[in-house]
Structure 1
Amino acid sequence: MNRKAMRRIPLEKFFDLKVDFAFKQMFGNEKNKKITVVFLNAVLKLTGRDTIKEVTFLKHELGGEYQDDKQSRLDILVKTQNGDFINVEIQLSNQHDMTKRTLYYWAKMYESQLVRGMGYSELRPTITINICNFTMFKDNKNYHNTFHLYEDTTLSRLMPEEDVMEIHFIEINKFISLWYEGKLNALEDLLIRWLLLLGMVDGRNKKVYAEIYRELEELAMKDENLRAAFDTWEEISQSPETILAYQSRLKYILDEEARYIDGINKGREQGKAEGMKEGLEQGLEQGLEQGLEQGLEQGLEQGLEQGRKQEQIELVKKLLQRHETVEEIMDLLGLSREEIERIKSLNLPLE
């Protein structure tokens, strides 16, 4: 294959496929159904008789049966030839609600199967695939994690014969790091090729990983599905209509992300300011209370002390007027000769 034939547009013109609009143009389009099937089989690692051979694209909205229901617009929703439901979500920015949102989507999809006259035994497995451009599990080095329903102690599956719940989380940032560390082999793992495709362009930072492109270029020489994906990618990345829609969507996502971060920062600043104000008010209040309490206590002590001294002075005066000797007053009141002589000669209060 001629290298020049691999692409006809500059690398920086390629859409970031992690932007949901571009992702849906690639994997949610009827004319690209074969690419979608290959991608899903790679994520789910399905082979042989379990392989997905055909998918039907379904409407993207769940809920809304009642006026106040929350509408959920899914990125890609398909039904396989076996009747299984698969939802694929791509998320560029972290809104810190992915887990709960995923469970909500799964529940709505599972519930949507049930129609009047249908038995619960007829409900089909429902699978959710989340592709995240951020870290979901900080303590887990795996870039691809799959969850089912398990028993806590034995770790046995609730329905081993037919898992009705299967939830995947793929973290692109972890994947890219592992690839650059040389820990991933795209020749041996089909999913790695498709994730390289998703990770090659960083629309947020207007960056393209040329090293990833070169590897994909080599892989596409032997992988016709990957080559077809590149052709589709080029096509959607240079159509005037899709360029405008893509740029608008990317701007909206980044603006929402900026507003979210700004809201967090403002909340922190407001909380900090309110905390300082509350702390200052509490400190002043406590200080005033403590000061008042200490002042009252000290004032009372000083008043009592002064009162005792004044009583002693008056008593010394009366005893002297009765011609009691200094020695007798010393023995009676426990005062020193100097204190009694001072009162006697100068009429001063005791110190």
Structure 2
Amino acid sequence: MRTLFVDPKTDFVFKKIFGTEEHKPLLVALLNGLLELDEVHRVVEVELLSPEQRPVVQELMRSIVDVKCVDARGARYVVEMQVLNVEGFDKRVVYNVAKAYTTQLKRGQKYPDLDDVIGVTICDFELWPRREMPHVPMLSRWCMQEQHRGAKGLGQLQFVFLELPKYDASRPPVTAVEKWAYFFREADNLEMVPEVLAERPYADALEAARAADFTEEEWDAYIRAGMAIQDKRGALSLASKQGRAQGWQEGKQEGKQEGRQEGMRAMRAALSEVLRQRGLTPGPQEQERLDGCEDLGTLQRWLVQAVSATSVSDALG
């Protein structure tokens, strides 16, 4: 049985709502809302990058929507919806934005031709947990700052994060940021259009997420996307439990370093099991690469990719 609205946090739906020519006004509204831009600097038009314009960078291709947004300054934006928190995610965001900046220059172009790049990331988890960093709000903005006097500069790279779990559900949403957070968190649980989302652009976003308008093929793709997320959560949970259990036992006997090594061995075992269940067999070089990996973040990323990969090379990409 279909819900009234689908979950906009799944990659398929996020692309459908914010990454198509038909719904470009929704992307403009989302950017203006999350960037809290005044009238002078508001985004007025967006141009979705064609496949030929996208940087050929594996990590950057994993962003849900990679767009070129034209505002008063001609800035570019990398927009991403991230459901699962994986080790090194913040570094990946910085890498993606930096790549989007450096790959602008073609042969013969000069540095003044570079446009600013702003990463806009919506997280369905706390990237900066409240218990550790209580002063980081639900919507945070990051840019370079001079450390002695606090002067802001070098704004060519900027980062905006919306952490959905920090939304205050004890009261109705009031600001544009709160309404977008409410939309992402609650859309698939709604049984009617709530009054707080009855105006544009939120009502238009809900209309684009209306399940009844999905074709059978789109609905099947949506269900598969949701199942893939659950599979990835399960794989990460399994690897985490195995790594903690075996690493802790080994750590008690032979010290923390050996315990860490045992934890990585458990992660490799979980990755091998996922590949086996999907009928994927590593070749000699791929197996050597898997066995020789000593970076826990890389192993975790491979595990997430293996859940939906169609080949071992995709999983280890």
TM-score (norm: length of structure 2): 0.71
Q: How far apart are the structure 2 equivalents of 1:79 and 1:247? A: 30
Task: Please tell me whether the aligned partners of residues 98 and 157 of structure 2 are also in contact (alpha carbons under 8 angstroms).
Answer: no
1:194 corresponds in structure 2 to 180
Q: CA, structure 1 residues 190+255, in 2 after alignment: closer, same or farther (shift >3 Å)?
A: same
Shift of 1:107: 1.0
Shift of 1:110: 0.2
- 1:92 equivalent in alignment to 2:83: yes
Q: How far apart are the structure 1 equivalents of 2:212 and 2:100? A: 29
Q: CA, structure 1 residues 53+99, in 2 after alignment: closer, same or farther (shift >3 Å)?
A: same
1:289 corresponds in structure 2 to none
1:157 corresponds in structure 2 to 152
1:76 corresponds in structure 2 to 65
Q: CA, structure 1 residues 72+35, in 2 after alignment: closer, same or farther (shift >3 Å)?
A: closer
- 1:140 equivalent in alignment to 2:126: no
Q: Which runs of 5+ in 2 are unaligned?
A: 256-317
Q: How far apart are the structure 2 equivalents of 1:169 and 1:156? A: 22
Provide Cα deviations, 1:277-320, integer angstroms capped at 9, x if missing partner. Answer: 548xxxxxxxxxxxxxxxxxxxxxxxxxxxxxxxxxxxxxxxxx
Q: CA, structure 1 residues 237+147, in 2 after alignment: closer, same or farther (shift >3 Å)?
A: farther
Secondary structure in 2 matching 1:272: helix
Task: Please tell me whether the aligned partners of residues 63 and 108 of structure 1 are also in contact (alpha carbons under 8 angstroms).
Answer: no
**Matching residue within 235, 238, 253 for 2:229:** 253
Query: Which structure's CA Rg is the greater one?
Result: 1
Task: Please tell me whether the aligned partners of residues 59 and 92 of structure 2 are also in contact (alpha carbons under 8 angstroms).
Answer: no
Higher helix content, 1 or 2: 1
**Matching residue within 218, 222, 232 for 2:195:** 218
**Matching residue within 11, 14, 17 for 1:26:** 17
Task: Please tell me whether the aligned partners of residues 25 and 236 of structure 1 are also in contact (alpha carbons under 8 angstroms).
Answer: no
Q: How far apart are the structure 2 equivalents of 1:13 and 1:119? A: 51
Q: CA, structure 1 residues 236+269, in 2 after alignment: closer, same or farther (shift >3 Å)?
A: same
**Matching residue within 147, 155, 158 for 1:166:** 158
Q: Name the aligned partner's letter for residue 104 of structure 1.
A: Y
Q: How far apart are the structure 2 equivalents of 1:90 and 1:274? A: 37
1:239 corresponds in structure 2 to 215
Q: CA, structure 1 residues 278+17, in 2 after alignment: closer, same or farther (shift >3 Å)?
A: same
Task: Please tell me whether the aligned partners of residues 116 and 156 of structure 2 are also in contact (alpha carbons under 8 angstroms).
Answer: yes
Provide Cα deviations, 1:89-128, integer angstroms capped at 9, x if missing partner. Answer: 1111111322111011011100111112211122111000
Task: Please tell me whether the aligned partners of residues 179 and 197 of structure 2 are also in contact (alpha carbons under 8 angstroms).
Answer: no
Q: How far apart are the structure 1 equivalents of 2:160 and 2:242? A: 34
Q: CA, structure 1 residues 277+225, in 2 after alignment: closer, same or farther (shift >3 Å)?
A: closer
Q: Which runs of 5+ in 1 are unaligned?
A: 1-8, 203-207, 280-351
Q: How far apart are the structure 1 equivalents of 2:152 and 2:106? A: 27
Q: How far apart are the structure 2 equivalents of 1:256 and 1:102? A: 20
1:83-122 paired onto structure 2 within 5 Å: 83-122=74-113
Q: How far apart are the structure 2 equivalents of 1:26 and 1:262? A: 32
Shift of 1:56: 0.4
1:178-327 paired onto structure 2 within 5 Å: 178=168, 180-182=169-171, 185-186=173-174, 189-201=175-187, 208=189, 210=190, 217-221=194-198, 223-234=199-210, 238-276=214-252, 278=254
- 1:39 equivalent in alignment to 2:30: yes
Task: Please tell me whether the aligned partners of residues 148 and 165 of structure 1 are also in contact (alpha carbons under 8 angstroms).
Answer: yes
Q: CA, structure 1 residues 151+237, in 2 after alignment: closer, same or farther (shift >3 Å)?
A: farther
TM-score (norm: length of structure 1): 0.65
Q: CA, structure 1 residues 127+70, in 2 after alignment: closer, same or farther (shift >3 Å)?
A: closer
Shift of 1:276: 4.7
Greater Cα offset, 235-244 or 112-121:
235-244
Q: How far apart are the structure 1 equivalents of 2:60 and 2:90? A: 18
Shift of 1:23: 0.9
1:63 corresponds in structure 2 to 56
| Identity in percent | 26
Q: CA, structure 1 residues 43+229, in 2 after alignment: closer, same or farther (shift >3 Å)?
A: same
Q: How far apart are the structure 1 equivalents of 2:236 and 2:211? A: 33
Shift of 1:140: 2.8
